[in-house]
């Protein structure tokens, strides 16, 4: 009897000391609504939307959005769906709707064209796949397939006509039902590309290319007739003919910029150790820096060959005829300056 009373007293004492904490630990948490939900299946279950609902978590209540899509479910609809399962007192956290996203694996247009390029790389005379441009006959929207499908597209059929560069290719995605429904057949054309300096604006004949006038782009190889050029090779060069914006540059399109124009007045310089002579002249032809052109000595009316040294300036070699002209007539010399 005494032992029984003792045990009862001890039990009451422990309940008084620890009972409140124990109750707090064992009391079930209240159901609470989720704000953002992601699902992978075609249906949305109670547990996807509400936490702490026990065995009812696996009960399906809504159809999920399409793969890769997002939808919103109003709180009132969720409450109506939960009522038959006696789930009440849900903490909504002030929400008015729950956003549900169905996960997917997205196959973009770039994914498709890259796969086509890899399929033809190294065949039919083509090089690396990164250099192949794929032009499809129709626009491709992003295709969403099951998120668990991680394999690569597998070629089921592939044809190519080298005369027209046209292709017809079909893929399969093992394990994916949705890709089979969508039909992964594509037609279009292939071309090999190269990197080339391309104009960002139109240029007039003889205009000098600035850094802002050119950029590197991939262009069809057939468009680059001859040798393409790099950006740093093009900057500072002049164009032989008028070129349009977006045109890829070739070596044959470029010349060194003309710094002396035909019929332009120039200063002719003749220099030997101890003396430098300068006379007035007129360029018989245009030229760039370093070019040898014909120049008319205005005083002697004789034509000499001179090298362009700068804008409006040319020089002649010691063997040129200017020395004899200058020595026989002081009138031909505009200025004679002893060198230091």
pLDDT for position 318? 65
Q: What does the block give as tokens for 136? A: 């499809």
Phi/psi region, residue 122 (left: phi>0; alpha: psi -120 to 50; beta: rest), is left
Report the 3 state secondary structure along 180-243. HHHCCEEEEEEEEEEEEEEECCCECCCCECCHHHEEEEEEEHHHCCCCECCHHHHCCCEECCCE
**Separation CA 55–CA 45 (nearest Å):** 11
Confidence at residue 226, expressed as pLDDT on a 0 to 100 scale = 66
DSSP letter string over 53-106? -GGGGG-EEEEPPSTT-EEEEEHHHHHHHHGGGT----B-TT-SEEEEEE--EE
pLDDT in tens, the chain (340 residues): 444 444 444 444 444 444 444 444 556 788 999 999 999 999 999 999 999 998 999 999 999 999 999 999 999 999 999 999 988 889 999 999 999 999 999 999 999 999 999 999 999 989 899 999 999 999 989 999 999 999 999 999 999 999 999 999 999 999 888 777 778 999 999 999 888 899 999 999 889 999 999 999 888 887 776 677 888 889 999 998 999 998 889 888 898 898 899 999 999 998 877 788 889 999 999 888 889 999 999 988 999 999 999 999 999 876 545 444 444 433 444 444 444 4
Nearest to 214 by CA among 227, 195, 201: 201
The C-alpha atoms of residue 81 and residue 58 are separated, in whole angstroms, by: 13
pTM: 0.60
Q: Where are the domains of the chain?
A: 32-103, 107-193, 195-257, 259-337
Fold of 195-257: Type Iii Antifreeze Protein Isoform Hplc 12 (3.90.1210)
Say what the pLDDT of residue 181 is.
75
Gap between the Cα atoms of 164 and 190, Å rounded = 9
Cα separation, 82 vs 98, in Å, equals 14
CB–CB of 63/42 below 8 Å? yes
SS3 of residue 263 by DSSP: coil
pLDDT confidence of residue 327: 42
Domain at 32-103, CATH from 3.40.50, 2.30.30, 1.10.10, 2.60.480: 2.60.480
- Distance between CA atoms of residues 187 and 138, nearest Å: 8
Q: Tokens in use for 219?
A: 């262009």
Identify the H or E element spanning 179: helix 177-182
CATH for 259-337 is 2.30.30.760
| Contact (Cβ atoms closer than 8 angstroms) between residue 144 and residue 161 | no
Q: What is the Cα 216 distance to its own chain's centre?
A: 12
pLDDT of residue 23: 43
Please give the structure tokens belonging to residue 145: 């397939």
Q: What is the CA radius of gyration of the chain?
A: 42
* The pLDDT of residue 322: 46
Q: Quote the tokens at residue 315.
A: 């020089």
Q: What is the pLDDT of residue 339?
A: 40
């Amino acid at each position: 009897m005494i032992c029984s009373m003792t045990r009862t007293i001890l039990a009451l004492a422990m309940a008084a000391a620890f009972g409140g904490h124990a109750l707090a630990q064992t009391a079930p948490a209240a159901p609470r609504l989720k704000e953002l939900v992601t699902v992978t299946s075609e249906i949305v279950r109670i547990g996807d939307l509400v936490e702490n609902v026990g065995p009812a978590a696996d009960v399906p209540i809504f159809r999920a959005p399409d793969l890769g899509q997002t939808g919103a479910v109003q709180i009132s609809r969720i409450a109506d769906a939960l009522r038959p399962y006696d789930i009440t007192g849900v903490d909504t956290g002030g929400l008015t709707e729950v956003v549900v996203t169905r996960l997917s694996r997205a196959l973009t247009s770039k994914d498709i064209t890259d796969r086509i390029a890899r399929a033809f790389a190294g065949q039919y005379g083509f090089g690396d796949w990164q250099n192949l441009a794929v032009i499809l006959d129709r626009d491709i929207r992003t295709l969403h397939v099951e998120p668990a499908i991680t394999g690569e597209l597998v070629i089921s059929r592939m044809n190519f006509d080298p005369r027209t560069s046209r292709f017809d290719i079909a893929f399969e995605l093992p394990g994916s039902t949705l890709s089979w429904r969508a039909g992964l057949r594509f037609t279009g054309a292939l071309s090999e590309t190269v990197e080339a300096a391309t104009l960002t604006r139109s240029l007039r004949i003889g205009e000098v290319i600035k850094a802002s006038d050119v950029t590197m782009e991939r262009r069809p190889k057939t468009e680059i007739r001859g040798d393409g050029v790099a950006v740093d090779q093009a900057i500072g060069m002049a164009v032989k003919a008028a070129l349009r914006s977006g045109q890829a540059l070739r070596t044959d399109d470029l010349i060194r910029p003309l710094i002396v124009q035909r019929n332009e007045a120039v200063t002719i310089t003749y220099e030997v150790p101890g003396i430098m002579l300068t006379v007035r002249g007129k360029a018989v032809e245009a030229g760039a820096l370093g070019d040898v052109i014909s120049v008319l000595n205005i005083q002697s009316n004789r034509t000499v060959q001179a090298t362009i040294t700068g804008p409006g300036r040319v020089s002649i070699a010691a063997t040129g005829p200017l020395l004899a002209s200058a020595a026989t007539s002081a009138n031909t010399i505009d200025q004679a300056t002893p060198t230091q």
